[in-house]
A and B are shown apart, each in its own frame.
Chain A
Amino acid sequence: MATLDHQEFNTWFESLQTNNILFMFKGDFNQELINSIVLLIEGLPEIEHEDIIVKKRMSGVVVECLQNICRHGENILESSELKPGMLLLRKKNGDYLISIGNNVKTEKVAKLKDYIAKVNGLDDSGLKEFHRDVLINTELFGKYGADLGLINIARKSNRDFDFDFREIDDTYSFFSFEVSIHGTQNN
């Protein structure tokens, strides 16, 4: 028995085309999957033709974002260790937009918001200084990863993260986050 709504499927495909979706993944992230995703993204024709700095920034930002999901993402099913999330990569006006979505504990939202706002408010030299401070003052193999990670993402991107938190229930919120990276090829 056929269950696919072909019309809906076609509309969906067309919408992916018009929105210039280059890559999309929804599922449970882990390190092996991150490696495969980076390999796939680096092999996309649009990315392959980019300058080395753009390629490196793309894979760098994708790695930081996805490792963040693996380390800090939450699963609403408390019995599960899996780290569900979503990655969307598209191109708009010559820039690459990397969007990430995952669940976080609602109790952590305020702190995360403050931190993102702080990073968003810094210019290039401010970010460099902040990066240096966090790097020097955190413990070796301590829980500094996410802090440095966000600064790193900011330094590789056009900054001004676009982000949002939607409450799912008392315990969890959905965190969505978008970063843009300047492309050098205008195709």
Chain B
Amino acid sequence: MEAINLKGTYDTPTVTLDPENGRFEISGRSYPEDTAEFYIPILEWLSNYIQHPNEHTNFVFKLDYFNSSSYKPFLDMFLKLAEARQKGHNISIEWYYKEGDWDIKEAGEEFSEIVEVPFEYSSF
């Protein structure tokens, strides 16, 4: 599968979806002007990837800030990952938050509760 490598901007995150090198990461800020335009290709990519994922996939979220319109595409990603886990695929989710940024940590906990998948938490 072709990798996605998007360099972050001030309002969009850095996205690395690279099965060959085993890297799956979304980091930085997310409050694009057009959330759909930014996330539709990523969600489509993920839908395809989970059909035949790597033996192990560790998905890393390392966000500084994301706006309310980014919540739903994020939830959609977690739902896709949860679905693949249910089918028996080995998928883990790592949720990073800046030391002291309890709001981001809590957002991760709430996503985790909704999709019923435990996240691993680390500060950076």
Q: Mark A residues whose CB is within 8 Å of B.
A: 31, 34-35, 39, 51-53, 56-57, 59-60, 63-64, 67, 70, 128, 131-132, 135-136, 138, 140-141, 144-145, 148-149, 151-152, 155-156
Q: Which residues of A contact B31 (CB under 8 A)?
A: 63, 67
Q: Is the CB of B99 within 8 A of A52?
A: yes
B116 within 8 A of A: no
Q: Is the CB of A149 within 8 A of B101?
A: no
Q: Say which size band chain B's interface belongs to.
A: 20 to 34
Q: Is the CB of B72 within 8 A of A60?
A: no
Q: Which residues of A contact B67 (CB under 8 A)?
A: 60, 63-64, 67, 149, 152
Q: Mark B residues whose CB is within 8 Å of A.
A: 10-11, 31, 33, 35-36, 39-40, 43, 64-65, 67-69, 71-73, 75-76, 98-104, 110, 114
Q: By DSSP majority rule, is chain B's interface helix, strand, loop, or mixed?
A: helix
In this complex, what residue of A is CB-closest to B32? Answer: A31
Knowing A53-B101, A67-B31, A135-B114 are in contact, say whether A140-B65 is a contact too (CB < 8 A). no
Instruction: Identify the interface centre among B31, B76, B99: most chain A CB within 10 Å of its CB.
Output: B31
In this complex, what residue of A is CB-closest to B67? Answer: A63
Q: Which residues of B contact A149 (CB under 8 A)?
A: 67-69
Q: Which residues of A contact B73 (CB under 8 A)?
A: 140-141
Q: Is the CB of B100 within 8 A of A135?
A: no
Q: A141-B36, A149-B68 are in contact. List 8 more A-B contacts (CB 8 A).
A: A31-B33, A53-B100, A53-B101, A53-B103, A56-B103, A67-B69, A148-B71, A156-B103
User: Whole-angstrom distance between the alpha carbons of A135 and B103 in the complex?
Assistant: 17
Q: Which residues of B contact A67 (CB under 8 A)?
A: 31, 67, 69
Q: Which residues of B contact A138 (CB under 8 A)?
A: 72
Q: Which residues of A contact B64 (CB under 8 A)?
A: 56
17 contacts across the A-B interface (CB closer than 8 A): A34-B11, A53-B100, A56-B65, A59-B65, A63-B65, A63-B67, A67-B67, A128-B110, A131-B110, A135-B72, A136-B114, A138-B72, A140-B43, A141-B39, A149-B68, A149-B69, A152-B67
Knowing A35-B11, A53-B101, A156-B103 are in contact, say whether A148-B36 is a contact too (CB < 8 A). no
Q: Which residues of A contact B99 (CB under 8 A)?
A: 52
Min C-beta distance of A86 to chain B, whole Å: 20
Q: By DSSP majority rule, is chain A's interface helix, strand, loop, or mixed?
A: helix
Q: Which residues of A contact B104 (CB under 8 A)?
A: 56
Q: Is the CB of B101 within 8 A of A148?
A: no
Min C-beta distance of A56 to chain B, whole Å: 6
Q: Which residues of A contact B98 (CB under 8 A)?
A: 52, 56
Min C-beta distance of A60 to chain B, whole Å: 6
User: Whole-angstrom distance between the alpha carbons of A128 and B36 in the complex?
Assistant: 25
